Amino acid sequence: MEKDSVALKKSISWVQGTALTVGAVLGSGVLVLPVLAAELAGPASMVSWILMGLLTVPLVTVMGNLAGRWPEAGGIAAYAQRAFGRRAGTVTGWLFLGTVPIGAPVAALIGAGYIGAYFSLTRGGVILIAALMLALAVFFNYRGITLSGRVQLLVVSVIAIILLFIIASALPGVEKKAFIPFAPRGWAPVGVAMTVLFWAFVGWEMIGHLSEEFKNPGRDIQLSLGISLIVINLLYILLALVIVGTGAYLGEDRIAALAHMVYSTWGKGAGAVVSALGFIVCYGTIHTYVAGFSRLVYAQARQGDFPSFFSGLHPVYRTPHRVLIALGLVFSVVLLVGYYHGLNLTMLIQLTSAVFIVLYIIGMASAVKLLKGAGFSRVCAAVSLAVCLIIFGFTGWLGFYPVLLGAAGWYAGHRRQASFKGNLPESVPGRR
């Protein structure tokens, strides 16, 4: 092992862990999904939000249990390896390669788009802002998880303050008649809305990749996830309440619906508020995902699944700096492609989401096997596994994307195993 491959620094407290988790889960969907769900199910979309929040409880419980018992930077990949063997861990690691390198630039472009719309910037200006967001995320994570956690705490605090101000300013405009009829299209759209809202609850898995750096993982991971679950569900439900209660979702422009709602109270400042919120929530998601992904690649490289070059840590900051630099280069390529050829953001989001659903399926299946002695957590894992499998059925042909990534990982694992056997000396018993 290389000289700079020292242990990751244990410096994350439960406060920083909570901020990192909230930042990972709260994304641009908070601006659009309450409106989209209300369009699908009317006021009954409130039921969709509550049910999704409740269904998230077993998933978060399992993630906390796994990360607390096995605080490893590999996260889901490490759990899969423990449960199903080395090849399963390799496949899972390869699946992650199809998420953050594409998803982070997409989130950055969405966040930059809010600023660009407010200032009427060109596509080049929007891409420059997106590049700045990605560069900041790489820089702060390069400098260490302590600084990164403090930055994310500030980011999440600003998000919460803005959202609470928006909710508080809109509450006086909520009317009872807006909830009548409660289910204008029947109850079936409530289920459809839940499949859409799944994307608002992705991000919990990132705590696993950071678990190795918690000061007290057995206690603080569970605490971070529990507080995050309460904060996120409270913000989502309150925002959905004012979106429905004020009738803001009945307008033509989904993204502008939130701005129109704020405009009725704040006047011309609404555009600036929504633009700032869009930028910050997207950055918060990018910040945590860059942190988690870099640890995942580092952990996989440390055990030989990825090139050993990425197993080194910075001699001072003790961060996977080589992974972060490489990630920055990939981000640059994606943005350049977007500048010269354009990007289908919707398609990229759907592809990334399909991979995350499969990762949750693997994580929950691993938990079912690993948590044999934990009755309640194992039941939670089984329930979450069933829900994720059902949701995956709605991905359609996009579900082939994670299958292809997994096949590449399986082949890579096979090649590595064959190479290992080929290098064994002739005298090793059992060698074919």
Structural tokens at position 339: 């500048």
In terms of C-beta density within 10 A (0-12 exposed, 13-18 middle, 19 or more buried), how is residue 415 classed? Answer: exposed
Cα–Cα distance measured from residue 79 to residue 85, given in angstroms and rounded to the nearest whole number: 9
Q: Which residues partner with 427 through β-bridges?
A: none
pTM for the whole thing?
Answer: 0.81
Q: What is the pLDDT of residue 428?
A: 41
Q: How far apart are CA 382 and CA 59, in angstroms?
A: 9
Instruction: Report the alpha-carbon distance of residue 326 to residue 97 in Å, rounded.
Output: 12
Residue type, 351: L
Work out the percent of the chain whose per-residue pLDDT is above 70: 89
Both structure tokens of 429: 């018993």
Helix (H, G, I), strand (E, B) or coil at 84: helix
CA distance 268 to 259: 10
Q: Do the Cβ atoms of 269 and 54 come closer than 8 Å? A: no
Q: Are 400 and 113 in contact (CB under 8 A)?
A: no
Which SS3 state, helix, strand or coil, does residue 86 take? Answer: helix
In this structure, are residues 120 and 99 in contact, taking their beta carbons and an 8 Å threshold?
no
Q: How far is CA 109 from the centre of its chain?
A: 16
Which pLDDT score, from 0 to 100, does residue 260 have?
67
> Residue 372 gets which letter from DSSP?
T
Residue owning tokens 């705490």: 153
Which of 392, 290, 362, 236 lies closest to 24, judged by CA? 290
Q: Domains in the chain, please, with CATH?
A: 14-416 (1.20.1740.10)
pLDDT digits (tens, 9 = 90+) for 249-275: 886 655 556 666 776 666 666 678 778
pLDDT of residue 431: 38
Distance CA(377)–CA(366), nearest Å, equals 12
- For residues 255 and 151, give the distance between their C-alpha atoms in angstroms, rounded to a whole number: 27
Could you tell me how many residues make up the chain? 432
Round the CA-based radius of gyration of the chain to a whole number and report it.
Answer: 22
pLDDT of residue 417: 67
CB neighbourhood size of 336 (10 A) = 12
Q: For residue 6, is pLDDT > 70? A: no
pLDDT digits (tens, 9 = 90+) for 46-71: 999 998 888 889 889 999 999 989 99
For 154-199, the pLDDT digits (tens) are 888 888 888 888 888 888 888 999 998 898 888 888 887 887 787 7
390-409 average pLDDT score: 87
d(CA 102, CA 114): 19
Q: 56 CB contacts (<8 Å, ≥6 apart)?
A: 201, 204, 229, 233
Residue 325 has pLDDT above 90, yes or no: yes
- In angstroms, the CA 79 to CA 89 distance is 8
